[in-house]
Structure 1
Amino acid sequence: MKKGKVCVVGSFNLDIVAGMSRFPQPGESLIAHNSMMGAGGKGANQAVAALRAGARVHYIGKVGRDDFGTFARRHLDSVGFDAVTLFSTADHPTGNALIYVAGADAENMIAVDPGANLTFTLEEIEQCRPAIAAADILLTQLENNLPAIEKVIAIAKEAQTYIILNPAPFQPVSDALLAKVDLLTPNATECSLLTGIQVQDMASAQQAAQVLHGKGIQALIITLGTQGALLSVAGQAQWIAAFAAVPKDTTGAGDAFNGSLAAQLASGVPLADAASFASAYASVCVERAGAAASMPDYAEALARQASATLETTALLPQVGQ
């Protein structure tokens, strides 16, 4: 596979994860059956996924000048990115997340202190203009301060860099910003918040997709967990099947999907095929503990995709047909 260039602008968090038999009730203390600490944050996770899925990656983030920030630098230096641009601040801590993973389905609950992630300045983003302009794909999320995200997208638009926005964690954004994005990748919850439609299945996802197309978005993928994903381009809908998995930790599933999707698109793979590969990639990820640590490599996802016996994509009738 040709190695395309992906620039990821996004968050770094230190993740502290507790494995539980179930989630605690308010006021209740439960004994965890395991715990771990590791690198996380949607931006850093997606950058690792893009790298391991075959892309050349430039990661851009911001941390505090604290022990967690030192951990971040060591981790990012060890990953193998083509380039890392890491800004820092003494006024805010490095972002961190407290994560519970519980039950047989390995669902998670997460509390995030964004810290330095919300302190990007416009001047810092301007310094990143050459990296954004040189990339085949810009991949960004909503875990940083919105003015910085708007600046990142504006630079990419001007440079004609293909823009993927993963609108997570949700924060309100303007329709004007959404219309600048080449590909939007919400999950069901984020899609519901963006459209006001309760997205629970493929039919409701199609209805929500029409609302988002009405906001000027040409292409979007709505991820629906074990139900797969809806790919909709200019109103033409296509189902992307989920791949069977035995989940151990679903924390990084969305990041695995987005990072590997970006890697595939950067290499010139058509959108539907890239989405199917990303679905396979995410299915391997959830079978391992940790977010960044669980990202598989290209060959593992390819093997999962090859071993599947089900149809991975299918055209859907348009809403109203």
Structure 2
Amino acid sequence: MKGKVCVFGSFNIDVVARVDRLPCPGESLLANNSVTSGGGKGSNQAIASLRTGANVHYIGKIGDDTFGQIGRRYLKSVGFNVLTLFSTNEKATGNALIYVSESSAENMIVADPGANMTVTEEEINKCVASIECADLLLLQLENNLSAVRQVIDIGYKNDIFIVLNPIPRQPLDDALLAKVNVLTPDAIEASYMTGVKVIDLNSAAKAADILHAKGTQYSIIALGEMGYLLSLGAEKIAIPNFKSQAKDTTGVADAFNGALVGRLANGDSLKDAAMYASAYASVSAEKFGASTPFDLSEVEEKLASL
């Protein structure tokens, strides 16, 4: 039986331009090519959960515009077990302008959240019954915080295992963090949330202890090339960053979070799920695009390389 995952999060249309290198301020560059595709942290993570074997219900919001029409067709084509897509004529569909350097695989992103920031209490109330059916709940912070809080409250009241990827930065109080089972910040966000400058495993461990003191049960702090620090409280586990021939790092964090929850839904321990998610993210970096499909045998090959 596939575990049931509910993902509440953003949907964006990504406009991606590939350049030899990232532009300097005020500089104009000619792109080698460009592509328009579906994206957004919520959508990306939901797709990764689905591809790693979970039964996924995705909840998002789009605008009543051309990008919204494209987005609706795209999301229906993904094959989610359940799709709830609200819409508004007050804001445009979320969109992101992304530059990807073909020499370094690094990226620059400017996002307009648009409709993602307009999710209402009434819309979330329509989803209560389906959220309550989930085994795991996955959220990020590309939506209005009021809606994020409401969904977390529903999950907490129903003893659903909650994973929060606290990106991009929004103010989170300890009362909210205490309702989260797994918090997955990167080094920058962990530094912001704890006051500890996170630069390596040791500093990440100090930051994780502060997050536990704030009420979060577990944490996984992403450290780039150094991998991840999984903190189970007193026990700290280094999760390696698998080597890859990176082509595009856009959406790698989303790949990790989605795969993490997908594997948890299938019964993996948090450590095993994090290992799998790291390998999945590594393969994702070798593909162009935030949610490009690939054969999961590539993930197994990464895991077997340890």
Report the TM-score when normalising by structure 1: 0.93
Query: Could you tell me the percent identity over the aligned residues?
Result: 56
**Mapped partners of 1:155, 1:259: distance in 2:** 20
The aligned counterpart of 2:182 is: 183
**Mapped partners of 1:250, 1:295: distance in 2:** 15
1:14 is aligned to 2:10: no
Q: Deviations over 1:247-279 (max 9, x none)?
A: 000011000000010011111110000000000
**Mapped partners of 2:70, 2:18: distance in 1:** 22
Give the CA deviation at 1:200.
1.4
1:221 is aligned to 2:213: no
The aligned counterpart of 1:43 is: 42
Q: Deviations over 1:73-105 (max 9, x none)?
A: 100110111010000000100000001111533
The aligned counterpart of 2:110 is: 111
**Mapped partners of 1:271, 1:166: distance in 2:** 15
The aligned counterpart of 1:233 is: 232
**Mapped partners of 1:104, 1:225: distance in 2:** 18
**Mapped partners of 1:300, 1:124: distance in 2:** 39
On the 8 A contact 1:185/1:220 being kept in 2, the answer is yes
The aligned counterpart of 2:22 is: 23
The aligned counterpart of 2:297 is: 299
SS at 1:3 equivalent: coil
Counterpart AA for 2:95: N
Aligned Cα root-mean-square deviation (Å) = 1.1
Q: Deviations over 1:4-42 (max 9, x none)?
A: 111100000000111122221111101112211110000
Counterpart AA for 2:227: G
**Mapped partners of 1:21, 1:7: distance in 2:** 38
On the 8 A contact 2:21/2:103 being kept in 1, the answer is no
**Mapped partners of 2:125, 2:295: distance in 1:** 32
**Mapped partners of 2:137, 2:130: distance in 1:** 10
SS at 2:46 equivalent: helix
The aligned counterpart of 1:131 is: 130
Counterpart AA for 1:50: S
Q: Deviations over 1:155-203 (max 9, x none)?
A: 0011111000000111111111011000000111111111122211111
Counterpart AA for 1:139: L
The aligned counterpart of 2:2 is: 3
How many residue pairs end up in the alignment?
306
Counterpart AA for 2:136: I
Give the CA deviation at 1:297.
4.6
The aligned counterpart of 1:315 is: none
**Mapped partners of 2:301, 2:100: distance in 1:** 27
**Mapped partners of 2:54, 2:7: distance in 1:** 11
Q: Deviations over 1:93-131 (max 9, x none)?
A: 000000111153311111000000000001111111112
Counterpart AA for 1:88: S
SS at 2:289 equivalent: coil
The aligned counterpart of 1:273 is: 272
On the 8 A contact 1:53/1:296 being kept in 2, the answer is no
SS at 1:84 equivalent: strand
**Mapped partners of 1:212, 1:105: distance in 2:** 33
The aligned counterpart of 1:282 is: 281
On the 8 A contact 1:49/1:296 being kept in 2, the answer is no
Judge which range, 152-161 or 205-214, deviates more. Answer: 205-214
**Mapped partners of 2:69, 2:180: distance in 1:** 33
Q: Residues 34 and 250 (structure 1 numbering): CA distance in 2 closer, same or farther, change over 3 Å?
A: same
Structure 2, unmatched stretches of 5+, are none
